[in-house]
Amino acid sequence: MNQPGWHLPGIFLPFLALVLTISGCALPSLNDRVESRSVPAEQTANTRLGAAIEPLTLAHPSESGVVLLENAHDAFAARALLAEGADATLDVQYYIWQSDITGTLLLDVLYRAAERGVRVRLLLDDNGISGLDKPLAALDTHPNIQVRLFNPFVVRSPKWIGYVTSFQRLNHRMHNKSFTADNQATIIGGRNVADQYFGAGQGAMFADLDVLAIGPVVSELSDDFDRYWSSASSYPAAIILPEPAEVDLERVVETTRECSASTEASRYVCAVAESGFLKNLLAGDLEYTWAPVSMVSDDPAKVWGEKSKNDPVSRQLAEAIGRPERSVTLVSPYFIPTETGVEMFREMESNGVQVRVLTNSLEANDVAMVHSGYAKYRKPLLEAGVELFELRKLPGGEPQEERLQKSLTGSSSSSLHAKTFAVDGKRLFVGSFNFDPRSVHINTELGFVIESPELTRMMEARFEEQVRVTAYELVLDEAGDLQWLERNGEQVITHSQDPGTGLIKRMMVSFFSFLPIESLL
């Protein structure tokens, strides 16, 4: 006979299991973490990269050389070649790294670099490495590879349990992206490591932008990498991930080789081999634009809500850009200006500054919930005088309504992912910063401000060319309602609602716009 008070309802046992799981969600101690720092550029001057770059930098003291990487294949080739050319160090930092073709190929080049004696430090945000726990744990056992996870989830599966206990911490992510070889050359920008960023595979594709840089700004970025690497949010993989078996590293190498030999990967490698960037680099004909370049970066303490030692990226950008006098041309895939931003643009327009913005249309946006945060500001922006354009869905995607569910949860057909803006035909920003509350207040961000009239005017000219061909222009009709103008040569088609979308999706976006979630977008 059961005694009173000892009868356990059936629902109690699952609840008890959840409580016990949650109780083990505390982050481990970092007391035994071994620290390391980037190797000064002076000590890598005799590497292959150093020997090739030093004559160029000596000819341009106090300036950095930059190359814009717009083409997806060029962007992949640049990373692969930096890894292959490194002799001393590779410092690599990303928000997302997927276990697809390009992710696997780039892990392979890092492994091969480590095999020839290069020290590899790989810092990944733990929110974007789905399916990579075993490979990363195995690579971390290599004597020349150190893997760290930024702001990690303690419970590995399912990860969402972490949000139950630590949402305030885990909602903050490291959105930075950089790839630095021998402290001599670096690549930063909007691209994560996944097929959709590098034009591989058959799925979604992103239009994105990176910068390859050499010169003084590289050491500045290496110092910033060290700051993140040694931060309180950076955890060695060995104390977060399950312990790998002795054969796991061999399996990772074998899996990588099998992927590399696959038909799809071989086809992609052949396409990259045709890259104009690759041919120019191998021929010694790569042309750099030389200009003063400054780095803007958030303090990693931002994820803990602590007071930063330096201003946030948003304020650093405001100071670096100064007060626009003539024009602002902004490209942002996730554009949520907020009321403050609308007022700022209205003031610019009233002072004679031309403001132009290109963002994703609803049919091209890969996160429709974010679109709901932007959509309510379209009329106020147009009323303020802002010229507003929305990228059309590029050819090759599935019909939008067939992809409804995937679009609402973060997948898409071809869409805009580049984050850049130009000011007064003089200054250009390229980086990871979106013009939205998440970039301003929640995530850490990284970018370069380039003082180059040549590159800035080139970006502005391409903006003008592209919006005519690939974007809808938004206007207000006589009644003050939104219209989308689609230009196809001499033909202009007028849409009275978000083009290329169905009623259900528009209704869901409208519903999201009423929720108090703007600060999280």
Taking the C-alpha atoms of residue 120 and residue 135, their distance in angstroms, rounded to an integer, is 15
Domain boundary at 236, 251, 282, which? 282
The distance from CA 208 to its chain's CA centroid, rounded to whole angstroms, is 9
Domain boundary at 250, 282, 314, which? 282
Contacting residues for 98 by C-beta, under 8 A, at least 6 apart: 128, 130, 131, 132, 192, 193, 194, 195
Domain assignment present for 194: yes
Judge whether residue 9 has pLDDT over 60.
no
Cα atoms in the Cβ-side hemisphere of radius 13 Å centred on 61 = 0
Q: What percent of the chain has pLDDT over 70?
A: 90
Domain assignment present for 472: yes
Domain assignment present for 275: yes
Name the range with the highest mean pLDDT among 108-122, 400-414, 453-467. 108-122
Q: What is the pLDDT at residue 281?
A: 76
Verify that 225 and 350 share a domain, yes or no: no
Q: Which three-class secondary structure state does DSSP give residue 87? A: coil
Closest-CA residue to 44 (of 216, 146, 145, 181): 181
Verify that 316 and 337 share a domain, yes or no: yes
125 is catalytic: no
- 15 token code pair: 């609840």
Closest-CA residue to 123 (of 177, 184, 81): 177
Contacting residues for 388 by C-beta, under 8 A, at least 6 apart: 356, 357, 359, 378, 381, 382, 473, 474
Q: What is the pLDDT at residue 388?
A: 98
pLDDT band at residue 16 under the 50/70/90 scheme = very low
Taking the C-alpha atoms of residue 375 and residue 379, their distance in angstroms, rounded to an integer, is 8
Q: pLDDT digit string (tens) for 18-37? A: 544 544 568 999 999 999 99
Which range marks the domain in which residue 515 is found? 294-520
Verify that 142 and 44 share a domain, yes or no: yes
Q: pLDDT digit string (tens) for 374-406? A: 999 999 999 999 999 999 986 554 433 333 223
Higher-scoring residue by pLDDT: 204, 508: 508
Verify that 165 and 245 share a domain, yes or no: yes
Q: pLDDT digit string (tens) for 501-520? A: 888 888 888 888 878 888 78
Helices 248-261 and 101-115 pack at an angle, to 10 degrees, of 120
Taking the C-alpha atoms of residue 432 and residue 418, their distance in angstroms, rounded to an integer, is 8
Q: What percent of the chain has pLDDT over 90?
A: 71
- Count CB-CB contacts under 10 A for residue 496: 10
Verify that 271 and 388 share a domain, yes or no: no
73 is catalytic: no
Verify that 277 and 311 share a domain, yes or no: no
134 is catalytic: no
- Which helix H or strand E contains 292, and what residues bound it? none
Verify that 387 and 441 share a domain, yes or no: yes
Verify that 240 and 323 share a domain, yes or no: no
393 is catalytic: no
Domain assignment present for 33: no
Q: Which of 177, 302, 393, 426 is catalytic?
A: 177
Rounded mean pLDDT of 333-351? 95
Closest-CA residue to 298 (of 196, 191, 446): 446
What are the CA-CA distances from residue 225 to residues 291, 409, 449 (Å)? Answer: 22, 31, 18
pLDDT band at residue 357 under the 50/70/90 scheme = very high
Verify that 316 and 272 share a domain, yes or no: no
CATH code of 334's domain? 3.30.870.10
- With tokens 């809500």, the residue in question is 305
Closest-CA residue to 200 (of 72, 110, 106, 75): 72
Judge whether residue 188 has pLDDT over 60.
yes
Q: Which pairs count as long-range contacts for 263-266, CB under 8 Å and 24+ apart, including other chains?
A: 264/101, 264/200, 264/201, 265/101, 265/104, 265/105
Q: Which three-class secondary structure state does DSSP give residue 473? A: strand
Q: Which of 140, 182, 208, 299 is catalytic?
A: 182
* For the chain, the helix, strand and coil percentages under 3-state DSSP, each to the nearest 5: 40, 20, 40
Q: What is the pTM of this model?
A: 0.91
Verify that 252 and 318 share a domain, yes or no: no
Q: To the nearest whole number, what is the mean pLDDT of the chain?
A: 89
- Count CB-CB contacts under 10 A for residue 144: 17
Considering only CA atoms, give the Rg of the chain: 24
Q: What is the pLDDT at residue 398?
A: 40
Domain assignment present for 431: yes
Q: Do the Cβ atoms of 288 and 66 come closer than 8 Å?
A: yes
Closest-CA residue to 253 (of 144, 110, 79, 82): 110
Q: Which of 419, 426, 498, 505 is catalytic?
A: 419
Domain assignment present for 20: no
DSSP state for residue 392 in the 8-state scheme: P
Q: Which three-class secondary structure state does DSSP give residue 384? A: coil
Taking the C-alpha atoms of residue 269 and residue 263, their distance in angstroms, rounded to an integer, is 10
Domain assignment present for 278: yes
Taking the C-alpha atoms of residue 334 and residue 419, their distance in angstroms, rounded to an integer, is 9
Closest-CA residue to 192 (of 128, 260, 137): 128
Q: What is the pLDDT at residue 402?
A: 32
- Helices H, strands E: what count in the chain? 19, 21
Verify that 252 and 298 share a domain, yes or no: no
Looking at the structure of the chain, the number of domains it has is 2
Taking the C-alpha atoms of residue 290 and residue 57, their distance in angstroms, rounded to an integer, is 9
Taking CA 466 as the corner, what is the angle to CA 382 and CA 199, rounded to the nearest 5 degrees?
Answer: 120
- Count CB-CB contacts under 10 A for residue 15: 10
Q: Which of 302, 417, 426, 505 is catalytic?
A: 417
Q: Which of 74, 87, 100, 175 is catalytic?
A: 175
Domain assignment present for 137: yes
Domain boundary at 247, 282, 317, which? 282
Verify that 99 and 220 share a domain, yes or no: yes
419 is catalytic: yes
Judge whether residue 46 has pLDDT over 70.
yes
Judge whether residue 12 has pLDDT over 80.
no
175 is catalytic: yes
Taking the C-alpha atoms of residue 337 and residue 383, their distance in angstroms, rounded to an integer, is 14
